[in-house]
Amino acid sequence: MSQVTKAVIPVAGYGTRFLPVTKAQPKEMLPVVDKPIIQYVVEEAVASGITDIILVTGASKRAVEDHFDYNYELQSWLKKQGKNKIREEVKRIADMANFVYIRQKGPYGNGTPVMCAKEVVGDEPFAVLWGDEFFHSQKPRLKQLIEVYEKYTDPVMTAYPTDDEGTAKYGILDATNIEKNIYQVKKIIEKPGPAKAPSRLAAPGGYILTPDIFDILENTDLGKDGELWLVDAIFALSEKRPIYACEVDATYYDTGSKLGWLKANIDLALEHPELKQEFRKILKEKLK
């Protein structure tokens, strides 16, 4: 069985939920405390054993590429200023993994960037993570998915518990529980609402996929809104092999939405060793 060492991260979207701030700035580069969203995503992947990060980009996403590159001029200036701690942090960002950049080509939709990565991924299992959301946990969410894949050797999706309100915001899993936190997936129902939801398990982004997904993607018809949807290909694949879901032990931040981004900043600021005490005081003052 091949190890999962590659992760595909689509970062070519327009970021319409955050306009106008994303008119000239990638949504993936919005800061959560002192790091951009995309860095949290990459750090989760690296902490899970991923060595190759494949970023599928588009126009106006140069800042994402620059963030994971060396900036020798900045490093030299920081060294002259005696700011060695932050200099090492800046250097570490580029050293985390082997970064590969692909320009997205093809129809709009979240299946297209995965298809664009075919030649780089090759004949290996691989992870897919979205660039505008992340999970915060002791054991990385992706590591939890990889452990399920290593046991079953079939594709694995992220499952996350939600409430009645969440059934109207996310795709909801129709699945059979086969172990404590592992499910075999029948289908996903998109935003069914509480009355029609088959469970209270949401299906945010995050997958371990097998290379047979590529042939299916290439033959998948465009779906809703004329887009190529990854989930359509996954469930075409489910006719040939089981698809599993892992209910992860983690906190989910939908940082592609304004409220999710604000929540992530508050939560992580309250954990930040240099900020948490003063920030807690500020919050108490505001909430009086």
- Please give the residue range of the domain that contains residue 223: 6-286
244-247 vs 156-161, strand pairing mode: parallel
Pick the closest to residue 198 from 206, 189, 207 (CA basis). 189
Average pLDDT over residues 246-264: 94
User: Which tens digit of pLDDT belongs to each residue from 194-248?
Assistant: 989 999 999 988 999 999 999 999 998 887 878 889 988 998 898 899 999 999 9
1 lies in some domain: no
User: Which tens digit of pLDDT belongs to each residue from 12-36?
Assistant: 888 888 989 998 899 999 999 999 9
pLDDT at 54 (0 to 100): 97
CA distance 199 to 273: 38
Please give the structure tokens belonging to residue 234: 């996954």
User: Which tens digit of pLDDT belongs to each residue from 87-124?
Assistant: 999 999 999 999 999 999 887 888 999 999 999 999 99
Domain of residue 83, CATH code:
3.90.550.10
pLDDT at 146 (0 to 100): 97
Burial (CB count <10 Å: 0-12, 13-18, 19+), residue 143: middle
pTM of the model: 0.94
Confidence label for 287 from pLDDT (cuts 50, 70 and 90)? confident
Answer whether residue 155 shows pLDDT above 70: yes
Report the domain count for the chain: 1
Answer whether residue 188 shows pLDDT above 90: no
Pick the closest to residue 98 from 35, 207, 6 (CA basis). 6
Confidence label for 1 from pLDDT (cuts 50, 70 and 90)? low
216 lies in some domain: yes
pLDDT at 191 (0 to 100): 87
The whole-chain average pLDDT of the chain stands at: 92
Does the CA dihedral 137-181-208-153 come out positive or negative? Answer: positive
